[in-house]
Amino acid sequence: GDVDSIIKKYENEDAENELAQKKMQLGSDLRGGIDKISASSIVHSKDDDNSYLSSLFDHYSTGGKGSNGLPDPEADRILSKWNAQLASQEVIRNWNQISDGALDKFMGKYFDKAWGKYDVYGRGNIPLIEALPFVRELMSSMSPSVPVDLNDKKEVQKIEVEPVVEPDAPEKEASQ
């Protein structure tokens, strides 16, 4: 009764964990390439790479709307959150060997945080001109940050210095 249901529960959990691990793994890389995303953004920082990004995000963007809410050909192009996610996934896949599980995990953990830095008013879109900085920010989400210790007060070392005497200046007499 109870023992059988407990054993069955753990068998199911083990099976789910094994499937999740298989979805994440890429060859011998148990983390599925997720650790290489940040470095790939740095490696792909040439003009050709930026042209590729501009073209890709332009393809995923839509025309902006005028003050009346209707499409306006004069308005700046925008990138919706959904299209930004699709374009970002395409960039990450093109620049990395990454498993679907690793990409899902990365996007789930970092996309909304990076998006929030650019869509500060929660409009659901960003100007197309911000797409490149956005995707670079997203891809560098896992780069190690330099910890700043605000409590680290360094002791100021006082240095004894002789007074500077200009060679042309007449020396003052001490007996004045």
Domain containing residue 125: CATH number:
1.10.238
CA distances to 17, 114, 118, 127 from 130, rounded to whole Å, are 38, 12, 8, 6
pLDDT tens, N- to C-terminus, the chain (176 residues):
788 888 877 777 776 766 666 666 666 666 777 788 888 888 888 999 999 999 999 999 998 877 787 877 777 899 999 999 999 999 999 999 888 888 999 999 999 999 999 999 999 999 999 999 999 999 998 876 655 555 665 666 667 777 777 777 565 555 55
Q: What is the pLDDT of residue 95?
A: 94
pLDDT at site 4: 84
For position 70, what pLDDT does the model report?
80
Report the domain count for the chain: 1
Full domain range(s) for residue 76: 33-139
Domain assignment of residue 104, yes or no: yes
**128 lies in some domain:** yes
Q: Is residue 89 part of a domain?
A: yes
Q: Is residue 52 part of a domain?
A: yes
Residue 134 located in a structural domain? yes
> Does pTM surpass 0.85?
no
Q: DSSP string of 19-36?
A: HHHHHH-BTTBTTTTGGG
Return the CA Rg of the chain: 28
Question: What pLDDT sits at residue 107?
Answer: 94
**Residue 157 confidence (pLDDT):** 66
In-domain check, residue 115? yes
- Looking at the domain assignment, is residue 48 inside a domain? yes
CA distance 176 to 167: 21
Distance CA 8, CA 97 (A): 36
pLDDT at site 47: 92
Q: Is residue 61 part of a domain?
A: yes
